[in-house]
Structure 1
């Protein structure tokens, strides 16, 4: 949950908002403010793991920057140690001394502005050394994030990580992230309050920097328009904490890991809130036509609200399924899915953005009942990132394409299947790019030709064409309809990250062989689930799953 404190300010108390408070659910912020004693709730395992990974990334960036400035450490200051008040003192002392690079800068609370924040790095952007703040010292805020800050393209403004030298980069485009921009805007405003914000950083004015997973550059963001949006956002969020702006619960993606769901969930169920079957901003669009409950949506016969993507028919069917307590419905009378003589199910396991350590496969030869259905994992247990990933990927690719070529040469059809191809495609292409030229590694063009061919089939897309589900269409939601169940009750993406850390001794502990077995079984169950789901869709689904158009409208 959000971290926040309140400090006296005259007869009232001013709430200090962090950048975390300015993003995500407004109702969460209202509840945090109304019930501050409930804020200190431990993070769930997935959130804790992501925070740990982010801390590790920041530590690596800090070591890299420190090494880059090793020949001029007189200008380097590290204010990241100690309690908060001590970190603030160290930061202000470094600013007063005119430090060129201040790592772990914790800024004083901006009580009047109602802000609290810290930057991984402040870079001095003027030529005056050793000056007091009012004599000309100026700083640009830089944050370090555990995601990509840019993509291949052009038009981004970047700077080398060892200096503030913004210039147009014809090899990168900015990967937008509203949370990063909001955090930089808050830091810039806090530096303004201290009188040390750099002005004229870009021709358009104020700017901030982001060092992402691509640590070879600093992505420079123009904050001119962002500051206008930020000021309005801060005012609204301050109104929420003061009880001047009313909020109400609504189900969004954030609810899955929010500790307040135990309060909001029952309230939404009692209200039969439409957000239980329609995601995100679509609930606001439905409100414009007077639809706020599941019952109203199930009986709606008007046009789609303005701005609605496509027709509203699917949403109406989802609401009717919810009222009928049906977790899966058919879109069409017939269920269709691509089948082949030789079928290979594929499931990839990766760790963060460090690489893909496991490609699991399951081959089914429908022309030869005597050929065993065998699970084959292609894996590296060397901790990622590692060059050994090239070996395991090359072995996987060579085996799969070999099976395809043999099938085609024998006059048989071939198809490889995955469930939601975005992740697999990312690492197929990424592996071809990163390990280009190594033995067995396909070219990017070869990978593109395969994933764009009819031989690469996404079962998630097939499920989406054939079915609707008010509970979601994730593999673990849909495969049980085909009678498939995972061996491990804890199986899931977040859990597998923790298993991987123990499986390779990533935390410095001894390697846990049982976690390697657990990961392989989880991966095998995923490919078995995809196979079971595809076969059930071919025989059984049409008879077992009700047709959506036959569900009754509310009376």
Structure 2
């Protein structure tokens, strides 16, 4: 068979098809392109996590004979890594770290696995990723019925695990499938029958291996691989379309202007929505803005079709926000506390910022308070700062109740805050001041914990997105730091605590505190604006829809 002109890496099998086409048609630009700071941060975090798993694997088998765990040198060239991997397989090593498989030029594929684990007469691939790959099965419902398989991290022993549900990340599954297909062709799998094959993923918690049956994944992989190969060979044409991935794509400076020039409808609706619109002939923003017919048959059930039309009108007219309700509504209280949490990836929450407003006592200072740990995460000191935050918050809540005042605490998008509220109660259970999980759950479920992100969604259509930094400026708020963002804060945190052996930088700690304070002040300004000037300053949806009559 003639060698393929294209070789696909597993990362080429998911995500934007047009990006794959551009990468393949401009390889020199791809090679010369530096990583963005955001991409480099993700790579560094993933490398740190994999190094930790590597050291854990080596430590778990430190009492076993030499050669049980083989570490392939990641700094050596590709050919050397392949040779070392094949030699370890021939020697029947039990664990092979950083295993690099020979590039398959006939089929056009390459790949490496953080681990190959010996299973009988062959190997199973296990990849290590820097995200969560399972979550606790809901208690009280009998678990998941044993549909999730896991294995301990110190051995390969897959078994049903009713306590967990797997998180099915398609990128991970396609990577496992490509590795399995390559191992099959090399004769290195425990069986030649795909129905007998498995693969595994170790996630951020590194407390188990989540195991996948490979037969069904291999079928999906074969279909995806065939299409992606055709795209890479330029036999299936692609065109740009805005999707979530575009935010961090290096090709966006090229695709964005092209989409704007043709006023592509994907600039104002999500990916699935633009596909549904295309099926009824709507491809431009102008067409959508003037459309009066029925919504497409395949329109997503959780999206209002009128919102899409309004987003298109807003794009054409420059309207930043559209009012859904005649009277915007947001829950208010006598004593109000705005809360914002800062975390470092999956490692923990290092800062809880608060801003208290007593609407019954104008003489009481509206004061920002921060509860932080500056010991590098993960650290037990995180539990101490969380306990202090929780003690202060619940103390203010109790004091308000005792004085006959109503109380509410506010955040912007409670998913993140709730995760670390519950996670901190679980991880630091028993430490001084750390509340029982049930107490945290009671607070989260109460009317006194208010999500302003949800309030924004109920009251407004947000053509530019519902993020705090998109919406609060409409209410008149400005951040002091022009570079303020969640991604930037990750770099500031590394410098603030001196990750990687660097000297901690107090200036970056101050920067993080100022950023957090601005976030809680933005939440306060936004909710007070919703309850006041928003009605007069934001046009109602019915008024905006009159654009179609022009």
Question: Smaller-chain TM-score range?
Answer: over 0.9
Indicate whether 1:26 and 2:17 are aligned. Answer: yes
- Are 1:317 and 1:549, in contact at CA under 8 Å, matched by a contact in 2? no
151-160 vs 236-245, which moves further:
151-160
Indicate whether 1:413 and 2:414 are aligned. Answer: no
Aligned-residue offset at 1:163: 1.6
- 1:359 corresponds, among 349, 352, 368, to 352
Counterpart for residue 85 of structure 1: 79
Q: Give the secondary-structure state (helix, strand or coil) at the position aligned to 1:141.
A: strand
| 5+ long unaligned stretches in structure 1 | 1-8, 127-136
Counterpart for residue 497 of structure 1: 490
- 2:263 corresponds, among 272, 276, 280, to 272
Counterpart for residue 540 of structure 2: 547
Aligned-residue offset at 1:200: 7.7
Deviations 1:349-400 (A, max 9, x none): 0011111000000000000000000000000111111111111111111111
Q: How many Å separate the matches in 1 of 2:23 and 2:374? A: 42
- 2:424 corresponds, among 402, 412, 431, to 431
Aligned-residue offset at 1:201: 9.1
Deviations 1:170-224 (A, max 9, x none): 221211111110000000001111111222899x422101111222211111111
- Are 1:201 and 1:207, in contact at CA under 8 Å, matched by a contact in 2? no
Aligned-residue offset at 1:335: 1.2
Counterpart for residue 131 of structure 1: none
Q: Give the secondary-structure state (helix, strand or coil) at the position aligned to 1:115.
A: coil
Q: Give the secondary-structure state (helix, strand or coil) at the position aligned to 2:500.
A: coil
Deviations 1:105-158 (A, max 9, x none): 1100011111010000101111xxxxxxxxxx4111010111112111243111
| CA distance 1:213–1:201, shift in 2 (3 Å) | farther
Q: How many Å separate the matches in 2 of 1:114 and 1:225? A: 22
Q: How many Å separate the matches in 2 of 1:352 and 1:329? A: 33
Q: How many Å separate the matches in 2 of 1:13 and 1:164? A: 35
| 5+ long unaligned stretches in structure 2 | 138-143
Q: How many Å separate the matches in 1 of 2:456 and 2:180? A: 47
Q: Give the secondary-structure state (helix, strand or coil) at the position aligned to 2:220.
A: helix
Q: How many Å separate the matches in 1 of 2:84 and 2:331? A: 63
Q: How many Å separate the matches in 2 of 1:301 and 1:443? A: 54
- 2:44 corresponds, among 52, 59, 76, to 52
- Are 1:321 and 1:548, in contact at CA under 8 Å, matched by a contact in 2? no
Q: How many Å separate the matches in 2 of 1:140 and 1:13? A: 26
Aligned-residue offset at 1:307: 3.3
Indicate whether 1:105 and 2:96 are aligned. Answer: no
Indicate whether 1:148 and 2:140 are aligned. Answer: no
Q: How many Å separate the matches in 2 of 1:152 and 1:461? A: 25
Q: RMSD over aligned Cα, in angstroms?
A: 1.4
Deviations 1:67-98 (A, max 9, x none): 11122232221123311111011111111222
Q: Give the secondary-structure state (helix, strand or coil) at the position aligned to 2:548.
A: coil
Counterpart for residue 140 of structure 2: none
Q: Give the secondary-structure state (helix, strand or coil) at the position aligned to 1:473.
A: coil
Counterpart for residue 520 of structure 1: 513
Counterpart for residue 501 of structure 2: 508
Indicate whether 1:403 and 2:396 are aligned. Answer: yes
Q: How many Å separate the matches in 1 of 2:26 and 2:193? A: 41
Q: Give the secondary-structure state (helix, strand or coil) at the position aligned to 1:416.
A: strand
- Are 2:347 and 2:377, in contact at CA under 8 Å, matched by a contact in 1? yes
Q: Give the secondary-structure state (helix, strand or coil) at the position aligned to 2:65.
A: helix
- 1:242 corresponds, among 226, 233, 244, to 233
Counterpart for residue 130 of structure 1: none
Counterpart for residue 65 of structure 1: 57
260-269 vs 322-331, which moves further:
322-331
- Are 1:359 and 1:378, in contact at CA under 8 Å, matched by a contact in 2? yes
- 1:257 corresponds, among 234, 248, 252, to 248
419-428 vs 92-101, which moves further:
92-101
Counterpart for residue 5 of structure 1: none
| CA distance 1:170–1:73, shift in 2 (3 Å) | farther
- TM-score, normalised with respect to structure 1: 0.94
| CA distance 1:382–1:147, shift in 2 (3 Å) | same
Q: How many Å separate the matches in 2 of 1:173 and 1:459? A: 30
433-442 vs 297-306, which moves further:
297-306
Counterpart for residue 156 of structure 2: 164
170-179 vs 423-432, which moves further:
170-179
80-89 vs 362-371, which moves further:
80-89
Deviations 1:315-348 (A, max 9, x none): 1111111111111111122111111110000000
Deviations 1:233-284 (A, max 9, x none): 0000000011111111010111111111011001100111111110121111
Q: Give the secondary-structure state (helix, strand or coil) at the position aligned to 2:97.
A: strand
Q: How many Å separate the matches in 2 of 1:432 and 1:349? A: 16
Deviations 1:412-468 (A, max 9, x none): 111100000000000000011111122111111111111111100011111111111
